[in-house]
Amino acid sequence: MLRNLLALRQISQRTISTASRRQIANRVPEKQKLFQEDNGMPVHLKGGLSDGVLYMITMGLTVFGTCYAVYELFVAAMPKKMK
């Protein structure tokens, strides 16, 4: 039992260790320069093509959802007539 607890403690210390196995290059200064330069673009589109595509998809879904909500409200406001 004690051996299991000691093994668990050793495993948990290893996984929470702050030492990294590989170094990752710090690209924050590059991104800061990209997003802070004054080129007339909105900040949500400065990331490139992928940001533009995500923006267009989001706007399309928003317009579709708004139109669908208005349609459903209109259908609910005008009940079908009983014959």
Inform me whether the pLDDT recorded for 15 exceeds 70: no
DSSP string, 53-81: HHHHHHHHHHHHHHHHHHHHHHHHHSPPP
* CA neighbours closer than 13 Å in the CB half-sphere of residue 2: 0
Tens of pLDDT along 31-70?
A: 899 899 999 999 888 989 999 999 999 999 999 999 999 9
Q: Quote the pLDDT of residue 9.
A: 75
Query: Per the confidence metrics, is the pTM higher than 0.75?
Result: no
**Sign of the torsion angle spanned by Cα atoms 32, 33, 34, 39:** positive
* Local structure of 20: helix, strand or coil: coil
Inform me whether the pLDDT recorded for 76 exceeds 60: yes
Inform me whether the pLDDT recorded for 7 exceeds 80: no
Inform me whether the pLDDT recorded for 17 exceeds 60: no
Task: Tell me the backbone φ, ψ of residue 51, rounded to 5 degrees.
Answer: -65, -40
